[in-house]
Homo-oligomer: A and B are copies of this chain.
Amino acid sequence: MDNEADVIPVRQASPLRCAPVVNPRITRSREALLNAARELLLQGGPDAITVDAVAARSGVAKSTLYRHWATRDELVVDLFDHIKPPMIELDPSLPVVDALRLFGRQLAATVGDPEWQCMTPALLLMKLHQNNFAEIETRMQEQQRAALDAVLQRGIDEGVLRADATSDTSFTLLIGPFIMASLLGVVTVDDAFADAVTDHFIEGHRARAVV
A184 cross-chain contacts in B, Cβ below 8 A: 124, 137, 141, 179
> For the complex, what is the distance from the CA of A197 to the CA of B137, rounded to whole Å?
24
Binary interface encoding of chain A residues 120-148 relative to chain B, with 1 for a CB under 8 A from any of its CBs, else 0: 01101100110000000100010000000
A32 cross-chain contacts in B, Cβ below 8 A: none
Chain A contact residues, majority secondary structure? helix
> For the complex, what is the distance from the CA of A176 to the CA of B183, rounded to whole Å?
10
Contact A179 B183 (CB under 8 A): yes
User: Which of A45, A171, A172, A180 has the most chain B CB within a 10 Å cutoff?
Assistant: A172
Binary interface encoding of chain A residues 34-46 relative to chain B, with 1 for a CB under 8 A from any of its CBs, else 0: 0000000001111
Total interface residues on A, CB under 8 Å, equals 38
Say yes or no: A172-B168 contact (C-beta < 8 A), given A45-B128, A45-B129.
no
Within 8 A of B (CB), among A157-211: 168-169, 171-173, 175-181, 183-184, 186-187, 193, 196-197, 200, 203-204
Residue among B128, B171, B180 making CB contact with A175, cutoff 8 Å: B180
Contact B187 A172 (CB under 8 A): yes
Residue among B117, B128, B176 making CB contact with A180, cutoff 8 Å: B176
Residue among B44, B47, B125, B204 making CB contact with A121, cutoff 8 Å: B125
* A118 beta carbon closer than 8 Å to chain B: yes
Task: Across the interface, name the chain B residue whose C-beta is closest to A199.
Answer: B204
CB distance from A112 to the nearest CB of B (A): 13
Contact A169 B141 (CB under 8 A): no
* 18 cross-chain CB contacts under 8 A: A45-B128, A45-B129, A118-B128, A121-B121, A121-B125, A124-B183, A169-B177, A169-B187, A169-B193, A172-B177, A172-B180, A172-B187, A175-B180, A176-B176, A176-B178, A176-B181, A179-B183, A200-B204
